Amino acid sequence: MLKSFRTEIDPTEEQKHKINKTIGTCRYIYNFYIAHNKALHDRGEKFMSGKAFSVWLNNEYIPNHPDKLWIKEAYSKAVKHSMEDAYTAFTRFFKHQSCFPRFKKKSRSDVKMYFVKNNPKDCSCERHRMNIPTLGWVRFKEKGYIPTTKDGWVIKSGTVSIKAGRYYVSVLVDIHEHKLTVNFTQGIGIDLGLKDFAIISNGRAYKNINKSAKIKQLEKQLRRGQRSLSQKYENFKKGESTQKNIQKQMLKVQKIHQRINNIRTDYINKTIAEIVKTKPSFITIEDLNVRGMMKNRHLSKAVSSQKFYEFKAKLKIKCGDKGIELRVVDRFYPSSKLCHCCGSIKKDLKLSDRIYKCDCGYIEDRDFNASLNLRDATTYEIAL
């Protein structure tokens, strides 16, 4: 089975130039192929397949039109692929599955730069960068979204695309070809929460980073900055401040936002890296009702600042990378209310009860008890 992964990349100016050029050439060739076949059809001549067109283009057309030599400057595998795409569009038309192929407009075009692994070094992928044919090493905007070569994954092919001035890479891997190279310890359960960020059934606990002095200090700066910004707006209306002052303050506020965001993301990445390093045979988490929690206005800020969504998405990818089974337990599974010792359910457990006390004599930290129950849950879905 082939699985696709996508992430934003951060190409250099030179790489951007190459990508733009290749995509431009691909669009040109795609449209040329359609126009050429349309002309053949109008003259009552035979339809040309993608392969035949390629031969004609390289052996006849370009040699007779030296002004079109620039076609050859683009990555040939990508250009060839655009002919195949156009050919597929015709095939669908002939099978009455779609209308006559349309030209791709520059403004609203979904043309992508296709690439394929041809040499052993092609498409090799590290945590922060990937080797794309003709482009060389291209950096990722964020780490951890593409399966790495070191972990035994083989990227067969992919595409580079542009959307709203941003660049993305999308890759295909065969998940059956993945070679596992890990020794597993037993599974673990993770209880995610607001008091602590995560409690692991192996005894590790990860604090809520938003309670750290650094974040608190930055949030204070942020509040002050925002207040000053609105003050400057007021003054601007009165003619006592300038547009430039407002923009300067706005940039200041944005920078603080960015710093807070970076600290939170780093924390998530580090936490996941540490958890996965212990090589558990499986990880069980709760299917948190994040959307529901966001509706609660007392909780929404605390929840969004913990980035649970991002944590889960990244954990899922990391588990996939490492061949760790990720189990997701239904949100109605009473992980907190269940006694890990005797299995009875404490119905009157309040959110404020930090210690779980059972009638059977069992006493444990509430979240740690929950993480043990998650680890031992027998009803779960496996996240793929």
Identify the H or E element spanning 132.
strand 129-132
Distance of CA 281 to the CA centre of its chain: 24
Count the residues of the shown chain that bind Zn ion, applying the rule CB under 5 A: 6
Report how far residue 198's alpha carbon sits from residue 8's, in angstroms, rounded to the nearest whole number: 28
| 8 Å CB contact between 306 and 290 | no
Report how far residue 261's alpha carbon sits from residue 371's, in angstroms, rounded to the nearest whole number: 27
The 3-state DSSP class for residue 189 equals strand
**349 is a contact residue toward Zn ion (CB under 5 A):** no
**364 is a contact residue toward Zn ion (CB under 5 A):** no
Smallest separation (angstroms) from Zn ion to the CB of 380:
22
SS (H, E, C) 262-280: HHHHHHHHHHHHHHHHCCE
**360 is a contact residue toward Zn ion (CB under 5 A):** yes
**341 is a contact residue toward Zn ion (CB under 5 A):** yes
By beta-carbon proximity to Zn ion, the closer residue of 184 and 362 is 362
Q: Among candidates 2, 321, 383, which has minimal Cα distance to 181?
A: 321
Q: Choose which of 339, 370, 374, 377 interacts with Zn ion (CB under 5 A).
A: 339
By beta-carbon proximity to Zn ion, the closer residue of 230 and 344 is 344
Report how far residue 365's alpha carbon sits from residue 260's, in angstroms, rounded to the nearest whole number: 30
Smallest separation (angstroms) from Zn ion to the CB of 340:
8
| 8 Å CB contact between 378 and 328 | no
Report how far residue 308's alpha carbon sits from residue 302's, in angstroms, rounded to the nearest whole number: 10
**358 is a contact residue toward Zn ion (CB under 5 A):** yes
By beta-carbon proximity to Zn ion, the closer residue of 25 and 371 is 371
Distance of CA 109 to the CA centre of its chain: 23
Could you count the other beta carbons within 10 Å of the beta carbon of residue 164? 4
**342 is a contact residue toward Zn ion (CB under 5 A):** yes
> Considering only 141-149, 224-232, 313-321, 356-364, which stretch makes contact with Zn ion by CB under 5 A?
356-364
Report how far residue 162's alpha carbon sits from residue 23's, in angstroms, rounded to the nearest whole number: 9
Residue type at 277?
A: K
Smallest separation (angstroms) from Zn ion to the CB of 359:
6
> Considering only 5-13, 45-53, 361-369, 370-378, which stretch makes contact with Zn ion by CB under 5 A?
361-369
Q: Among candidates 173, 80, 165, which has minimal Cα distance to 123?
A: 173
Smallest separation (angstroms) from Zn ion to the CB of 342:
3
By beta-carbon proximity to Zn ion, the closer residue of 309 and 362 is 362
**236 is a contact residue toward Zn ion (CB under 5 A):** no
By beta-carbon proximity to Zn ion, the closer residue of 310 and 364 is 364
> Considering only 25-33, 77-85, 239-247, 340-348, which stretch makes contact with Zn ion by CB under 5 A?
340-348
Q: Choose which of 61, 184, 309, 362 interacts with Zn ion (CB under 5 A).
A: 362
**229 is a contact residue toward Zn ion (CB under 5 A):** no
Residues of this chain that interact with Zn ion (CB under 5 A) are: 339, 341-342, 358, 360, 362
